[in-house]
Structure 1
Amino acid sequence: MAADPEGPAEPERGGIWGRAYDGLGHVGGIILAVMTAAVFIQVVLRFLGRTGIDGLEEVPRYLFVWLIMIGAAAAMQRGEHTVLDFFINLLGPRSRALVIAFTTVVGIALFVYLIKLSFVLVPNAQLQTSAGLELPLGYVFAAIPVGAVLIILPMLRQLVAAVRSLWQKRS
C-alpha cells in the first residue's frame, strides 16, 4: 500500500485483512437472510390466522445489532462509509492528510470509549434474559465491543496511511 502523492492511500482490498473483512460482509449477508426469514415466517403465520412462534420476533431485533456492527466494520475496511469529502477535497495533500488523521483519531477514541463502556454494559446485560427466547442479553450487547474492535482495526490502518503521507519525501 504505497502512499499517494495526492493524499492518504485507499484501504488495501486484498490480502488477509481484505479476505477476513470480506468474510465479515458474507456473515452480515447471512444475518440479513436469517432476519428476513424470521420476519417472513411470522408474517405468513399471522396471515394464515395462526399465532406466531414464541420468540421468533426477537430474532431480527437482536440480530440487527450484530448486523450493524459487522456491516460497519466491513464497510470501514472497504472505505465505503459515507464521507462528506467536498471540503476535504478543497484542501491540499498535506492538509487533507492532517484532517483525515485527526478525524480518524477522534473516531478511534469514540470506539475505544464504547469498548470501555461495554465492560459494564455486557456483564450487566448478561444477568437479564429476553422474554421470548430466554436468551441472556449479554450476547446481544456483546456486538458493541466486538464491532468496535473490528471497526478500529481498519481505522488504525487508515491512520497509519494518513500519517505516512504527511511525512513522505518530496521528489
Structure 2
Amino acid sequence: MQKLKKLLEQFEDWASGILVVSGLMVLFYGVILRYVLHLPTTWQDEVARILLVWGILIGAAATLRENNHIRMELFYNVLPKNIKVIVDIFANVVILSFFIFLLTSGIDLVHQKLQTGQQSLNGYPLWIIYLILPISATLLAIRTIEKFFYLFKGKQDDSTGDLHQKL
C-alpha cells in the first residue's frame, strides 16, 4: 500500500510539473513566434492552454495531499478540538461530494464528446482534452478519502499536512 501511495504521489508531482513547464514553454515559443519573428500561429495557444489546465488540475491533487489549499483558519483555530473534528468531517463530505459530481459529469462529458467526434479548432479530439476532468476528480477523491481515513484513524501522517496536528 505504501508503494502504491508513493507511486501516486510521484505521478502527481512529476505529471503536474512536466505539464505546467511544458505549457509555459509552448506559450513562450508562441510569444517568440508572434512578436519576434512575426509568424503568428494558433496551435500553440490551444496546446499551452491544454497543458496548463491538465497540469493545474493534477497539481490540485498534490496540493490537497499536502493540505495546502486555501481555507478559513481564523475561525477554525479558535474552535475546540471536538468541534474541529466535526468541521473537518463536514468539509470532507462536501468536498468528496463535489469530486464525485465532477467525476460523473466528467465521464458523461468525455462519453458525449467521444460519441459526437467533436474536435477543437485545431483538430484535437475534445474527448481527450476533457479526459482531465474524470482523471483529476479521481485523484482528488482519492486524496479526500485518504484525509477521511487519517481523520477517523487519528493517525499522524506526513502527507496530510497539519490536519492531524489539530486533532
| TM beyond 0.5 | yes
Q: What is the CA deviation profile of residues 25-75 of structure 1, one whole-angstrom value per residue up to 9, with x for unaligned ones? A: 121111112111111111111223432345122111112221121010111
| Shift in Å, 1:125 | 2.4
- Deviating runs (4+, > 6 A) in structure 1? none
Distance 2:153 2:78 in 1: 20
> Under a length normalisation based on structure 2, what TM-score does the superposition of the two structures give?
0.81
Residue 128 of structure 2 corresponds to residue 131 of structure 1: no
Instruction: Calculate the aligned-residue CA RMSD, in Å.
Output: 1.8
**Structure number, greater radius of gyration:** 1
For residues 15 and 101 of structure 1, do their structure 2 counterparts lie closer, same or farther at Cα, with a shift above 3 Å needed? farther
* 1:23 CA drift (Å): 3.2
How many residues align? The count is 151
**Structure 1 partner of 2:152:** 163
Q: Which has the higher contact order (CA 8 A, sep 6+)?
A: 1
Picking from 93, 116, 135, the partner of 1:105 is 93
Letter in 1 for 2:118: Q
Asked if 1:44 corresponds to 2:44, the answer is no
TM-score normalised to structure 1 length: 0.79
Mark the runs of 5 or more structure 2 residues left unpaired by the alignment: 155-167
Contact 1:32 1:67 in 2 (8 A): yes
| Alignment check: 8 A CA contact 2:30 2:41 kept | yes
Are 2:55 and 1:73 equivalent residues in the alignment? no
Asked if structure 2 preserves the Cα contact closer than 8 Å seen for 1:97 and 1:163, the reply is no
- Say which SS state the counterpart of residue 109 (structure 2) adopts: helix
Tell me which of 56, 59, 84 is aligned to 1:96. 84
Displacement, 1:160?
2.1
Are the counterparts in 2 of residues 39 and 57 from structure 1 also a CA contact under 8 Å?
yes
Q: Aligned partners of 2:86 and 2:28: how far apart in 1?
A: 48
- Please state which structure has a larger fraction of its residues in helix: 2
Identity %: 25
1:85 alignment partner AA: E
Question: Which residue of 2 is the match for residue 146 of structure 1?
Answer: 135
Please list every run of 5 or more consecutive structure 1 residues that lacks an aligned counterpart in the other structure: 1-13, 166-171
State the AA in 1 paired with 2:10: D
